[in-house]
């Protein structure tokens, strides 16, 4: 009706321009993810770890990131991965800023064992019947 109806509104009627506007475009990043199974966050973490000042903390951060990369690789590919492959990927993602030669990562069996979900118990609703109020029992017996 193009807002031409003669209606008594209890409040101010909405303006037609309000319904004709389109929402703003959401800006998407055009950054390419080099290894999709690791994600963009790993690239960001490696950049931060490369410039970390404390040697011990930096080595610990790199080891934690490498273990997470190994988990991500196994979840994505379902194959076993060598530590050398992860360390090569770290060097590649950090553009040579991080060089890892000797680093022992978590064992693949441990990662796979931790990822398995425990089966959830099936609830048994028979307990509800045993603990009814005395009034409810007498009503059920009368039926």
Note the pLDDT of residue 113: 67
Instruction: Provide CB contacts within 8 A for 85, sequence distance 6+.
Output: 73
User: How far is it, in rounded angstroms, from Cα 70 to Cα 116?
Assistant: 16
Q: Which residue has the higher pLDDT, 51 or 16?
A: 51
Note the pLDDT of residue 121: 76
The structure tokens 């045993």 sit at 130
Q: What is the CA radius of gyration of the chain?
A: 30
Q: Which region among 18-27, 108-117, 121-130, 131-140 has the lowest average model confidence (pLDDT)?
A: 131-140
pTM more than 0.75: no
Instruction: Name the packing angle between helices 40-50 and 83-93 (round to 10°).
Output: 80
- What is the DSSP-derived secondary structure letter of residue 1? -
Q: How large is the average pLDDT for residues 82-100?
A: 88
Instruction: Provide CB contacts within 8 A for 23, sequence distance 6+.
Output: none
Confidence of residue 119 (pLDDT cuts 50, 70, 90): confident
């Amino acid at each position: 009706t193009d807002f031409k109806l003669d209606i008594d509104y209890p409040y101010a009627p909405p303006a037609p321009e309000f319904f004709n506007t389109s929402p703003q475009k959401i800006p998407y990043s055009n950054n390419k993810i080099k290894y999709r199974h690791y994600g963009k966050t790993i690239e960001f973490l490696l950049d931060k770890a490369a410039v970390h000042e404390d040697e011990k903390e930096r080595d610990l951060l790199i080891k934690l990131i490498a273990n997470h990369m190994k988990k991500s690789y196994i979840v994505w590919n379902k194959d076993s991965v060598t530590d050398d492959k992860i360390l090569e990927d770290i060097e590649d993602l950090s553009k040579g800023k991080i060089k890892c030669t000797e680093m022992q990562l978590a064992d693949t069996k441990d990662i796979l064992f931790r990822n398995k979900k425990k089966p959830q118990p099936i609830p048994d609703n028979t307990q509800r019947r045993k603990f009814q109020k005395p009034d409810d029992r007498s009503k059920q017996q009368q039926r």
